[in-house]
Amino acid sequence: MKAIFLKIIFLMIGIYLLLILLVFFCQRSLMYFPQPPLSEETVQALLPKVQMIHVVTADGVSLKAYFMPPQDNHSPIILAFHGNGALGMHLSQNFTEAIGKGYGVLFAEYRGYSGNEGHPTEAGLYQDADAYLAYLKANYPETSIIAYGQSLGSGVAVDLAARNPHSFTGLMLEVPFDSALNVADRIYPYIVFKKWILRDQYLSNEKIESISIPKLFLLAGQDEVVGFDSGIKLFDKAKDPKQIRVYNDATHGTVFQYGAQIDMMDFLQSLPSSSDTK
């Protein structure tokens, strides 16, 4: 009886170790959900006059993304990073009012998404962000830039703003998380050693404190993906000036159905213009 019991214990341990190995080697397939490109007809229906741009990252990856230029060289530009399982143009309806007021929006697209070459990784997405920022600074050197990150994109936006403290006038975070490591703890509590297993950790909680520009947090009270508490923890880590808007009935992908665009526009219009920062 004791021998059978030990065999069962060893079998369970073996199965668990296999699960750990599976998670380790397949984690990026479980973490990223690249989407195929939209048809040009769909893109133009979403946002007429939007343009496609091309950038090349520091590691040689060629990327394409859509860009709505500002009405003039002094109107601000929003550099927007979308969430997982989405595309940059899926954010277009969030910025209809901003575009109508002359703001430009660069809908950053990641490697591996929308037909772009490469495969998504944390380090890779950071290099993608660098390339888009370089494009804006080269082509619009006199223009204010605001960083925007949705969900996964919040980790990219926070990292970019932290590494480029003088390049942005504001930072907007929609349903952000404090770190992918903590989100994994919430979703997979039975997986141990995540700190050593997880390759892409997006430690925004260790970067947000260094960002001194105005910040806006848009949180969903019923966030079923990253969890409401994760966004609150990130907000608490951030230094002033900062604002928070909580949409109590919103889920992870619905804050703009509960008035987030109004709050975003109020925040944008409170920021200094490019002429004010000279």
Q: What is the pLDDT of residues 126-135, one digit of tens each?
A: 999 999 999 9
Q: How far apart are CA 38 and CA 21, in angstroms?
A: 35
pLDDT at position 275 is: 44
pLDDT at position 25 is: 62
Q: Are 73 and 141 in contact (CB under 8 A)?
A: no
Q: Are 221 and 177 in contact (CB under 8 A)?
A: no
pLDDT at position 116 is: 98
pLDDT at position 278 is: 40
pLDDT at position 277 is: 42
Q: How far apart are CA 145 and CA 130, in angstroms?
A: 13
Q: Over the stretch 66-105, which tens digit does the pLDDT of each residue have?
A: 999 999 988 999 999 999 999 999 999 999 999 999 999 9
What are 245's strand-pairing partners? 218
Stretches where the chain sits below pLDDT 50 are: 275-278
Comparing C-alpha atoms, which of 260, 246, 274, 276 is closest to residue 75? 274
